[in-house]
């Protein structure tokens, strides 16, 4: 047999996702490239590793045994790399962070300098909705989570990073008539919601509940980007985090509509389980963010301040 580490990684990705398409997206490879490597890997075995029924790929029992062995091999390769870097005096290990979807506009700025200084640290970053983030946190599957709404059922410690503000946003130039009655204002607008489980959706619903506002939901979309595109197409309005619409505001494609009671004010916070035993890598990251957060915010998020006044 003459399989490669790359083929092992590809096979593991296919096993975990049970989809060549999803594996190619996860690995940032083309679908044909994944299919070819998977075929070449399977050709080295006399017993099938996968089987395709209809358009769905299934992993055979033998394939799952090979996947377990492959995962062990990959882990050993990582261990060799970590030991080499550690011997040279470098920080090594994995850093596992789960981020609510809008947090993708925040987290990279707190990671960039840290990872450039510690090449031996492998980052596992999951960008998903609030429910999945909290599930990963509660199950101790991650070192840190980035949230804008703190969990109330999990015992956590936290480090506040920067303010989060959510405004009513519409397509530029639509000339919305501002009404004195906030209830009447929202009842006259077609509103676009994020999906259930989203922190932005929760913030919107809390605002409407506190204001005793009944609204008509125009549509529900599953990402911040999808909401932006719908607003740009003139399909409606939404309450959105300022952090995610910088370019559209600068390009005069979207505009903030000043409404009584807005913006909604929350805080971006890095959170972790209160009894978490940090690895050297996660502890080093926490110390880095604690000491550098003011400079990072000043350098990368000062553009937000005029909108807070």
Which run of H or of E encompasses 221? Answer: strand 217-221
- Sketch the domain layout of the chain as residue ranges: 5-87, 93-162+267-308, 164-266
Fold equal for 5-87 and 164-266 = no
Can you tell me which residue has the tokens 């690895």? 279
Fold of the CATH domain 93-162+267-308: D-Maltodextrin-Binding Protein; domain 2 (3.40.190)
Task: Determine the pLDDT at residue 137.
Answer: 96
Distances (CA, A) of 156 to 122, 128, 285: 24, 20, 17
Neighbours of 147 (CB within 10 A): 25
Query: Which CATH number among 3.30.360.10, 3.40.470.10, 3.30.450.20, 3.40.190.10 corresponds to the domain 164-266?
Result: 3.40.190.10
Contact in structure between 240 and 224 (CB atoms under 8 Å): yes
Tell me the sheet residues that pair with 256.
169
According to CATH, what is the number of the domain 5-87?
1.10.10.10
Query: How far is residue 232 from each of residues 70, 101, 130, 239, 251, measured CA to CA in Å?
Result: 46, 20, 25, 14, 12
**What pLDDT tens digit does each residue of the chain (309 aa) get?**
788 999 999 999 999 989 998 898 888 888 899 999 999 999 999 999 999 988 889 999 999 999 999 988 988 887 777 666 655 556 778 899 999 999 999 999 999 999 998 888 889 999 998 999 999 999 999 999 999 999 999 999 999 999 999 999 999 998 888 777 888 888 878 899 998 888 899 999 999 999 888 887 678 998 889 999 999 999 999 999 999 999 999 999 999 998 888 999 999 999 999 999 998 889 999 999 999 999 999 999 999 999 886
225, containing H or E segment: helix 224-232
3-state helix, strand, coil in the chain (%, to 5): 50, 25, 30
pLDDT of 140 reads 95
- Put simply, whether the predicted model's pTM sits higher than 0.85 gets the answer no
């Amino acid at each position: 047999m003459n399989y490669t580490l790359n083929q092992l990684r590809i096979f593991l990705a296919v096993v975990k996702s049970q989809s060549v398409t999803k594996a190619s997206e996860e690995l940032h490879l083309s679908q044909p490239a994944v299919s070819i490597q998977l075929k070449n890997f399977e050709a080295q075995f006399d017993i099938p590793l996968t089987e395709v029924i209809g358009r769905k790929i299934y992993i055979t029992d033998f394939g799952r045994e090979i996947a377990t062995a492959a995962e062990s091999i990959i882990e050993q390769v990582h261990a060799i790399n970590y030991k080499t870097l550690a011997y040279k005096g470098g920080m090594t290990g994995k850093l596992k962070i789960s981020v609510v979807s809008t947090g993708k506009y925040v987290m990279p700025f707190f990671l960039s300098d840290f990872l450039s200084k510690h090449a031996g640290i492998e980052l596992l970053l999951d960008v998903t909705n609030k429910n999945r983030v909290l599930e990963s946190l509660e199950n101790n599957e991650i070192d840190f989570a980035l949230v804008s709404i703190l969990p109330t059922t999990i015992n956590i410690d936290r480090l506040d990073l920067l303010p989060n503000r959510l405004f009513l946003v519409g397509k530029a130039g639509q000339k919305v008539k501002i009404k004195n009655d906030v209830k009447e204002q929202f009842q006259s607008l077609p509103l676009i919601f994020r999906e259930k489980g989203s922190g932005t959706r929760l913030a919107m619903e809390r605002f409407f509940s506190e204001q005793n506002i009944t609204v008509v939901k125009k549509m529900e979309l599953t990402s911040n980007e999808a909401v932006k595109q719908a607003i740009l197409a003139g399909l409606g309005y939404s309450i959105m985090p300022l952090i995610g619409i910088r370019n559209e505001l600068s390009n005069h494609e979207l505009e903030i509509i000043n409404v009584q009671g807005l913006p909604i004010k929350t805080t971006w916070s890095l959170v972790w389980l209160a009894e978490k035993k940090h690895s050297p890598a996660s502890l080093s990251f926490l110390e880095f963010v604690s000491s550098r957060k003011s400079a990072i915010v000043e350098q990368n998020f000062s553009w937000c301040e005029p909108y807070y006044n």
